[in-house]
Amino acid sequence: MSVALVAAALLAAGMALVRYAPERPPGDGDARPVPSSPASAAPGRETLRDLMPPGVKIGSAVDGRGLSLEPAYRALLGTEFNAMTAENAMKWRNLEPLPGVYAWTGADQLVDFAHQHGQAVYGHTLVWHSDVPKWVSPDWPADQVRAVLQEHVTTVVSRYRGRVWAWDVVNEVLDEDGTLRDTLWLRKLGPGYVADAFRWAHAADPGARLFINDYGVEGRTRKSDALLKLVRDLRRAGVPVDGVGFQSHLRWDQPPRDLTGNLRRFAQLGVSVAITELDVRVALPATPQKLERQATLYRQVLRACLAVTACVSFTVWGFTDARSWIPGYHRGYGAACLFDGSLAPKPAHAALLDELRRQLPRAASPSPG
């Protein structure tokens, strides 16, 4: 079936698709646009973005359905955070369901909303083993696999050049034992695909900050040791790795070991660090005691980020339990977010506000010397 016929069929089914045409923001493509003023919060209510110190973004992953259909979700997202990450809208399967046929609507909506509300956009994710479109065949020769991967990275980053401040370039590249994960990209292209992806992304938008992102690396583990070595080796080879993202999908009763020290050792490599996907799941039912322990862990992660100068952003993976991925993936767990299913703030939200207030005198004090 021709691309035109496929596109017509999908459009008839209600899917907004366009053929790729490179787009650039008006004016200098390297310039970051100045966002408009944020929407006002409820009178007298402090928000996380109100209290976050300069230089550190506070963000949330964004559920596309909530953004499209739920005014209360949109209002809270727009007032509480000054950054956002696409939970699914920028993943390859969603962006290019068929070769050369792009569905930009969800990602464009998120980027437009962010800039209307004075929010930065963190792009997620360009290369991920769990998000390879079905039309990309493992039977293709290496040259074809490399070409389609390069085209994907270049196309997506170029479209949002100047409008996305950072990208997860490669996501979950390591296995649990610290070795490179066995993926289509590794099998066909060898370990050099990681460096190639960063170089392609940098060429498409030299002003974007480029991150490597993974889970299970928040504390000192075998996997985080391996990630440290990988980032060190990449940077020594001149690969433009600007930052390391620590996903931080945590359990309420299992804090990471030496999170602050771990962030600092990565920062010593000369990269930025970021908490990219924080949620803290609790064993159901969620009792007040469990929610207090959850709140303590949220506070500890924020404190660790703020203690490390190189920590540039702190992002929760969804802000409401109504839109959380946790119950569908971790059976018997839930209540992982800052707001409950009715968008009422939970103790974890109060703990973050309190921690930020405690940081205010320190942030306002002049540095010695």
Please tell me the distance from the alpha carbon of residue 29 to that of residue 15, in angstroms, as a whole number: 29
Please give the positions annotated as active site: 172, 277
Query: What are residue 168's DSSP bridge partners?
Result: 211
Picking from 237, 228, 304, the residue whose alpha carbon sits closest to that of residue 268 is 228
Q: What are the structural domains, with CATH classification, of the chain? A: 56-362 (3.20.20.80)
Judge whether 185 and 146 are in contact, CB under 8 Å: no
Q: In the prediction, which pLDDT does 91 show?
A: 98
Please tell me the distance from the alpha carbon of residue 246 to that of residue 199, in angstroms, as a whole number: 21
Residue at token pair 């008006």: 26
pTM score > 0.85 for this model? yes
What is the sign, positive or negative, of the torsion defined by CA atoms of 336, 340, 343, 349? negative
pLDDT in tens, 68-86: 999 999 999 999 999 999 9
Residue at token pair 């490597």: 212
pLDDT band at 45 (very low <50, low <70, confident <90, very high): confident
pLDDT in tens, 338-367: 999 999 999 999 999 999 999 886 544 443
Please tell me the distance from the alpha carbon of residue 149 to that of residue 138, in angstroms, as a whole number: 13
% the chain with pLDDT above 90: 85
